[in-house]
Amino acid sequence: MNGATTAAYLARRAAQKERVRILYRRALKDTLNWAVHRHLFYQDASDLREKFEANKHVEDLDTIDKMIAAGEATYDKWRHPDPYIVPWAPGGSKFTRNPVPPSGIEIVNKGLEDP
Amino acid sequence: MSLRAAVLRHIRLPVQTLPAIGSRPQSQLSFLRLFSSHDDHLTKEEVIDRVLDVVKSFPKVEPSQVTPDVHFQKDLGLDSLDNVEIVMALEEEFKLEIPDKEADKIDSCNLAIEYIYNHPMAG
């Protein structure tokens, strides 16, 4: 219990909190991918939230690290094979569908061959 | 026939002169249909309205406290996990895909409105 508020401790806690937030975000998106119907999603999302809330009070850095690693392993195990990605985002269906033509190219006569 | 006319005369509503259409430019713009999606971006007011609606409909939030520059954790007393949930709700509302690092930084209504307004693909 040395250095309760040293900078290193706080930096580690902050990094852990960020990892937890990103893990929660990804897990929630995954839940939305798996639970097709909205009422099922709400149920699963509150279950997930409760799992996170149950470990909220843990103070020991190493335990927290282990829990985060276990959580990330569970997330990797449950990842959806075909997640919904917004169409224009990388991985979506519309990504690079109509890329911007490179500069310096001039279309003469609307592309028609006969003048 | 005359009874019908008398009844109609009785229930006829008085005609009001509508204000001139050009006097309220914002409503005039709302009649414009933009058939190309090239440069129809959301107006700032639309973004603010929709963001506030999403935040107000969050179950742990008091709707009367929500203003455009409210901070989720400091002013509304929410958790960091609640913050994540709000950002996800905003992503669903505006059909955006926000990268994880950016989503982590969105902490207040201000930041959310700025980010969404400056995003080229906000729907």
Q: Which pLDDT does position A58 carry in this prediction?
A: 82
Residue whose tokens read 């224009």: A88
Q: How far is CA B116 from the centre of its chain?
A: 12
Q: Which pLDDT does position A26 carry in this prediction?
A: 93
Q: Select the residue of A24, A89, A92 nearest B81 (Cβ to Cβ).
A: A24
**DSSP alpha helices (H): ranges in chain A?**
7-34, 38-54, 61-77
**DSSP for residue B47:** H
ipTM of the complex, rounded to two decimals: 0.79
Chain B contact for A89, CB < 8 A?
yes
Q: Which pLDDT does position B21 carry in this prediction?
A: 47
- Mean per-residue pLDDT for B11-19? 61
Sign of CA dihedral A23, A29, A33, A37: positive
Q: Return the bridge partners of B108, or none.
A: B71
Confidence of residue A74 (pLDDT cuts 50, 70, 90): very high
Residue A3 has pLDDT above 70, yes or no: no
Q: Which pLDDT does position B65 carry in this prediction?
A: 86
Confidence of residue B63 (pLDDT cuts 50, 70, 90): confident
Distance CA A20, CA A58 (A): 13
Q: Which pLDDT does position A114 carry in this prediction?
A: 75
pTM over cut 0.80:
no
The 10 Å Cβ neighbour count of residue B64 is 7
Chain B contact for A21, CB < 8 A?
yes
Residue B14 has pLDDT above 80, yes or no: no
The one-letter amino acid at B74: K
Mutual angle of helices B109-118 and B44-56, in 10-degree steps: 140
Q: Which pLDDT does position A39 carry in this prediction?
A: 93
Q: Return the bridge partners of B71, or none.
A: B108
Q: Which pLDDT does position A93 carry in this prediction?
A: 87
Sign of CA dihedral B53, B58, B63, B66: negative
Helix or strand holding residue B91 (H, E): helix B80-94
Contact A49 B96 (CB under 8 A): no
Residue B22 has pLDDT above 50, yes or no: no
CA R_g for chain A: 23
Q: Cβ contacts of residue A8 below 8 Å, gap of 6+?
A: none
- How is residue B53 written in tokens? 């609606």
Which of the two residues, B5 and B106, has the higher pLDDT score? B106
Å between A85 CA and nearest CA of chain B: 8
Chain B contact for A92, CB < 8 A?
yes
B77: left (phi over 0), alpha (psi -120 to 50) or beta: left
The pLDDT tens digits for A10-42 are 898 889 999 999 999 999 999 999 998 999 999
What's chain A's average pLDDT? 87
Report which of B91, B55, B107, B92 is spatially closest to residue A17, judged by C-alpha positions: B107
Q: Which pLDDT does position A25 carry in this prediction?
A: 93
Å between B47 CA and nearest CA of chain A: 19
Residue A110 has pLDDT above 50, yes or no: yes
- Mean per-residue pLDDT for B40-67? 87
